[in-house]
Amino acid sequence: MPTFSVNPSKEIKNPFGGMPGLIERGNIDLFSRPIVKNPDGTISTVRSTSFNVDGQEVLVPTVTDDGKIISDEEALMKYFETGKHLGKFETPDQATQYAKKLHEQQANLYLNK
């Protein structure tokens, strides 16, 4: 699989501190995500999925930087193209727990603007 180098100056701090199983912090700016309105009236900024790459569960957004909702397969391809991710974890459950907290944090951030 291809390897991607990511500009460390673009990394942001993990908003949740020592999340269990966190191997690598995400490299996406969580404070300038596009807002996508869902059919049910809710919004998405970091709607996500995860997949295993070389023994690590990689969490990636299914909302693109330009505000489009994409499929899980497209999100995987986008990760391989750009190297952008929301975090890397030891297990799928740990990635899911982080994703839930991240979605709550984003909802509070964007709904309270």
Break the chain into its structural domains and give their ranges: 19-111
pLDDT digits over 56-73, tens only? 999 999 999 999 999 999
- pTM to 2 decimals? 0.79
Per-residue pLDDT averaged across 30-57, rounded?
88
pLDDT-based confidence at residue 6 (cuts at 50, 70, 90): very low
Sequence-separated (6 or more) residues with CB below 8 Å from residue 53: 1
Sequence-separated (6 or more) residues with CB below 8 Å from residue 43: 35, 36, 37, 107, 110, 111
Q: How many CB atoms lie within 10 A of CB 98?
A: 24
- The confidence score (pLDDT) of residue 53 equals 94
- The confidence score (pLDDT) of residue 112 equals 64
